[in-house]
Structure 1
Amino acid sequence: MAYYQRKISIYPYPRLRTSLVLILTLFFLNMGCSSEENQTLSNPNTLAAGQNSAVGQQSKTLHIAVIPIQSSQAQAKQLKILDEYLEKTIRRKFNIHVQPDYDTAINLLVTEQVQIAYLGSLSYVKAKQKNPNIEPILAPINKATGRPWHTSMIIANSAHIKSVKDLTNKRFGFVSKSSTTGFLIPWVELFKKEEIDPDKTFSEVQFLGSHDQALEALIADEVDAVAVQQEAYFKAQSENKLPQAKYVKIWESSPLPTDPIVISSKLDQKLIYSLKKALIDAPNAIVSVSGAEIVGYTLVDDMNYEPIRQLQTKLDENTPN
């Protein structure tokens, strides 16, 4: 099988027996654990104290790294709006940049060159393993589900593929090895449930960099099927880029935690508080850096991403070096 290097070659993957549904149970049980802090953030007396204390901390610029999710031009426009909102609300200077790939965003946060990052679930887990002084604080609430979870999907050109069984000898596109919905989950689910060996099944594998780029490659007929997050698929559909007569969803995962906003725990706690408050109170059109439709943010912590950590651990245990 040819591995196309825009990208990173992928490795043989032994069968996993971990139940995705079982380990995700922990995620859903834990989503209710932050309700008390949510109530605190909505208390006007407490909020005033937190907001005022952060106003005095204006000496340093806060740097934010963002993983590439949509086209660079669209994402840059959205980040400019977010930058202006945060600077006005928190009264601090912000420097927000989309990074060229997932791993660059991870490394910037791990090495503390940035203090805040918009990461995927798997990229957060990888970053936490390298630097324990980071933590997730918020995750978006998906408009489609009304909850802080989404799914991974495999979208295919229906002229060549009608179901997962038709993937043999086809060209397949992932997003990044650090992408949850664009790599980890579909890879595990493909092998575990359908017993597909990518080395023997696909004629070519590409890693395409972002969810938008993966769908663009599918539309351009550079690949026959791609794994992407639910939001990217819905967004492309709403823009009439994926007509139902030509493209078909052939697989969808179990629910997964949405991508977190991650911070260095070395930041002043009052500043962290103000950041949470600002983003929870922000208009929906401002806070969505991915272009996906969301209905706000909810508080999360490390335990919300334990299911992803368990899957990644199982993957690493069964992958040869």
Structure 2
Amino acid sequence: MFRKRQSFSVLTCLLILGLLVTACGNANKPEPGTAANRTGDNAQRQEEILIGVIPAQGSNEMKLGADKLAAILAEKLGRKARAEVYPDYNGVVEAMGAGKVQMAYLGPLTYVEAHERYGVQAVVTQLIEGKPYYYSYLIAPADSPYASIEDVVAQSGDIRFAFGDINSTSGSLIPGIALKKADVFKSQQEHKFKSVTYTGDHTATALAVQNGQQDVGAIDSAYYNSLVKQGKVDGRKIKTIWQSEALFQYPWAVVDTFSDEEIATIREAMKGITDPDILSAFGGASGFTEASDEDYAAIRQAAIEDGRLKPGQ
């Protein structure tokens, strides 16, 4: 009987001890929103920043510059950072929406789509010869009989036409609107051309035209001129037959978890960049400058006109 009472007493003591430990643990656990809990949030903010990059001129050409930029921003922000060049434009937008990418290099069209859908904000853009503008070009082989967009429209049935990525501003949206107004293009399936192809990036478009695989191509003026300057395409074999109105340059955009201080740090860091590997990777830039959502009002209106965005979206 004594042993049974002794065992019961031991079990009772252990149960009481367990309840006391649990109570102490709950007492020390921070409530949501308390200073202790915010410390955990701050620790989470020190996680790696992933910078997503659209393949404007192909992944290989942009990788070195993107990696170097990530290293600079990591040092300035005091956070780990790495860059990833995505295989297509829309992939970067979706990655931002999913919380996988915190900062991205976007085309103007992909930016306005990402802004409307996920609230990302433009903070920086590139300068080309000191100005934040570029154009959409139509290019053709130098010995081509086509000398203007009017020639392209008049002889569309003989022309193999190349766009870039379907979500490119200069490689798709802007020239597409011009050709729709001329009633020779509605979609890849419905048009009056001999064929319509989407090459995926500006380098591929330039090479396809140079090598005679396509008769006319839509391309970003800055990237085209940079490709010629770097000797990656032969400017003597290609001519420009149409130029759009000026377009505001590609933005770097961030998600809403960045503080005002971090955005200011990003802007100052990028404005100070002179590394040629970084500048050449992004359209042969001469530098970077500040950008804001208001700079892309004309692109937003063009996207609405083309049915890619709804008014007020």
CA–CA distance in structure 1, aligned partners of residues 46 and 234 of structure 2: 50
Aligned counterpart in structure 2 of residue 173 of structure 1, from 141, 147, 162: 162
Which residue does the alignment assign to 2:306? 315
Which residue does the alignment assign to 1:262? 253
Per-residue CA deviations over 1:112-133 (Å, capped at 9, x if unaligned) read: 211100000000011122112x
* Residues matched between the structures, number: 261
For residues 85-234 of structure 1, what are the structure 2 equivalents within 5 Å?
Answer: 85-132=72-119, 134-143=120-129, 146-163=130-147, 164=149, 165-166=151-152, 167-168=155-156, 169-192=158-181, 194-197=182-185, 199-234=190-225
Farther off after superposition, 204-213 or 79-88: 79-88
Q: Which runs of 5+ in 1 are unaligned?
A: 1-55
Which residue does the alignment assign to 2:49? 62
The answer to whether the 8 A contact 1:284-1:295 is kept is: no
Farther off after superposition, 285-294 or 151-160: 285-294
Amino acid paired to 1:282 = I
CA–CA distance in structure 2, aligned partners of residues 277 and 240 of structure 1: 32
| SS of alignment partner, residue 218 of structure 2 | strand
Aligned counterpart in structure 2 of residue 236 of structure 1, from 227, 232, 246: 227
For residues 10-49 of structure 1, what are the structure 2 equivalents within 5 Å?
Answer: none
Distance 1:106 1:289, change over 3 A: farther
Amino acid paired to 2:184 = I
Amino acid paired to 2:123 = I
| SS of alignment partner, residue 159 of structure 1 | coil
Percent identity over the alignment? 25
Amino acid paired to 1:139 = T
The answer to whether the 8 A contact 2:54-2:92 is kept is: yes
Shift of 1:61: 0.6
Amino acid paired to 2:287 = G
The answer to whether the 8 A contact 1:103-1:178 is kept is: yes
CA–CA distance in structure 1, aligned partners of residues 309 and 78 of structure 2: 48
Amino acid paired to 1:152 = S
CA–CA distance in structure 2, aligned partners of residues 290 and 303 of structure 1: 25
Shift of 1:235: 1.7
The answer to whether the 8 A contact 1:175-1:210 is kept is: yes
Which residue does the alignment assign to 1:11? none
Structure ID, larger Rg? 2
TM-score by length of 2: 0.76
CA–CA distance in structure 1, aligned partners of residues 203 and 231 of structure 2: 14
CA–CA distance in structure 2, aligned partners of residues 267 and 224 of structure 1: 45
| SS of alignment partner, residue 201 of structure 1 | coil
The answer to whether the 8 A contact 1:58-1:93 is kept is: no
Amino acid paired to 1:71 = G
Amino acid paired to 1:135 = Q
Q: Which runs of 5+ in 2 are unaligned?
A: 1-42
TM-score by length of 1: 0.74
Which residue does the alignment assign to 2:12? none
The answer to whether the 8 A contact 1:215-1:226 is kept is: yes
The answer to whether the 8 A contact 2:184-2:193 is kept is: no
The answer to whether the 8 A contact 1:78-1:289 is kept is: yes
CA–CA distance in structure 2, aligned partners of residues 307 and 264 of structure 1: 22
The answer to whether the 8 A contact 2:128-2:134 is kept is: yes
The answer to whether the 8 A contact 1:79-1:289 is kept is: no
Which residue does the alignment assign to 2:10? none
CA–CA distance in structure 2, aligned partners of residues 176 and 71 of structure 1: 11
CA–CA distance in structure 2, aligned partners of residues 99 and 318 of structure 1: 23
Distance 1:250 1:83, change over 3 A: same
CA–CA distance in structure 2, aligned partners of residues 162 and 86 of structure 1: 46
CA–CA distance in structure 1, aligned partners of residues 277 and 79 of structure 2: 17
The answer to whether the 8 A contact 1:139-1:299 is kept is: yes
| SS of alignment partner, residue 262 of structure 1 | strand
| SS of alignment partner, residue 153 of structure 1 | strand
Shift of 1:241: 4.8
Amino acid paired to 1:187 = G
Which residue does the alignment assign to 1:247? 238
